[in-house]
Amino acid sequence: MKSKVALFVGLFALSCMTIFAQDQGQGQGRGQGQGRGQGQGQGQGQGQGRGQQQAAPPAMDKVTPEIPGVVKAGTKIEIVKFGLRGSDAGMGMSDGSVLVSANGGVVKIDPDGNMTTLVENSEQGAGLTIDPKGRVIAAQYSKKVSVVYPKGSEEVLTDSFEGKPYIRPNDLVADKKGGIYFTDCYQVDAKRSPDDLPQAVYYIAPNTKKVTRVATDINRPNGITLSANDKVLYVNDWDSANLVAYDVQSDGTLKNRRNFATFDTKQTTDHGLVSGADGLCIDREGHTFSTTPAGVQIFNSKGEHLGNIDAPYDMPPQNCGFGGPDMSYLYVTGRGVVFRIHTLGKGVKERGK
């Protein structure tokens, strides 16, 4: 009897593995995977459980709580893709599709869930943005910020500051003039050197490769986005409880730093609880959405915490952006998974995050 039970369990497990492998094979394994596979630090914030692939398929039956002005109670959390080799970014495009860093490159997922590979090897691209020229620009863990698409337009915008290489460019956002803000920070538990650049936020001036360091007063700058009018820059501080905001000046520099919002803290470090805040996006009404170990944490335009949406898997989500018809879906990425939620608000046009 025991042998029959063991045989049944073995056959069932084998069939489940086969089904999961078939799903992975549907256009999802085409990238070259430099640094984007398991154990290679796929997320932007590598903390407890960070950089790990979600082993089991995500839950298909999860729904959202009621978050006034943001999402109705019981809204389905739709699984768009899973089984990818890493997933990051989530940059919405005008046709409703989203760009995702996955499988070692950049993939495009249309509103029906069909996936196309645009860039086979993004050189460890993490965060993505699109500038006013329509170029896709990546923050690359290979210590660069580069144009990676369209083909033929690839170029490195910056790979050093004051003669020193960056630590690990993490996330970025383009303004309406074509300037690029990006964050540079350590991977959690990374070995540090006194010769390293400080963890910081930088600005690449429009139509140039001139780089200015615009902020060094965040413990560990991570996800980054701009208000719809480009007047406020928001930055997640992974290593505190704060979402930080600055007023943007005409030359791209920043002033009036303030702690805009306070996260629920669940990330444990050797110096206490921190936010573990990773990716960041915003809608037209000024609601900010941060991916953290507590899920997607949502704040209104005044920085008031409205609520959290749990991820449909056990580990923290990594990034977010808006896409779908009229930018009315919040797309969330991480752990080889892409999921989306229909929201009451809409993403910022021409920005997608």
Position 190 scores a pLDDT of: 85
Position 8 scores a pLDDT of: 40
Q: What is the pLDDT of residues 230-253, one digit of tens each?
A: 999 999 999 999 999 999 999 999
Q: What is the pLDDT of residues 187-199, one digit of tens each?
A: 988 889 999 999 9
State the average pLDDT for the chain. 88
Instruction: Tell me: pLDDT of 120 over 80.
Output: yes
Position 52 scores a pLDDT of: 64
Nearest Cα to Cα of residue 143 among 168, 124, 164: 168
Q: What is the pLDDT of residues 288-308, one digit of tens each?
A: 999 999 999 999 999 999 999
How far apart, in whole angstroms, are the C-alpha atoms of residue 330 and residue 20? Answer: 25
Question: φ, ψ for residue 332 (rounded to 5)?
Answer: -125, 135
Position 143 scores a pLDDT of: 98
Reported for 226-235, long-range contacts at CB under 8 A and 24+ positions apart, including other chains, are 226/173, 226/175, 226/181, 226/282, 226/351, 227/282, 227/286, 228/282, 228/284, 228/286, 228/348, 228/351, 230/175, 230/176, 230/177, 233/181, 233/201, 234/260, 234/280, 234/282, 234/288, 235/183, 235/201, 235/280
Instruction: Tell me: pLDDT of 25 over 80.
Output: no
Position 216 scores a pLDDT of: 98
Instruction: Tell me: pLDDT of 111 over 50.
Output: yes
With pLDDT > 70 as the criterion, what percentage of the chain qualifies? 85
pTM for the whole thing?
A: 0.86
Q: What's the whole-number mean pLDDT along residues 325-348? A: 97
Instruction: Tell me: pLDDT of 11 over 80.
Output: no
Q: What is the pLDDT of residues 253-264, one digit of tens each?
A: 999 999 999 999
Q: What's the whole-number mean pLDDT along residues 161-174? A: 98
Contact 213, 200 (CB under 8 A): yes
Q: What is the pLDDT of residues 56-88, one digit of tens each?
A: 889 999 999 999 999 999 999 999 999 999 999
Position 301 scores a pLDDT of: 97
Q: What is the pLDDT of residues 131-162, one digit of tens each?
A: 999 999 999 999 999 999 999 999 999 999 99
Position 350 scores a pLDDT of: 86
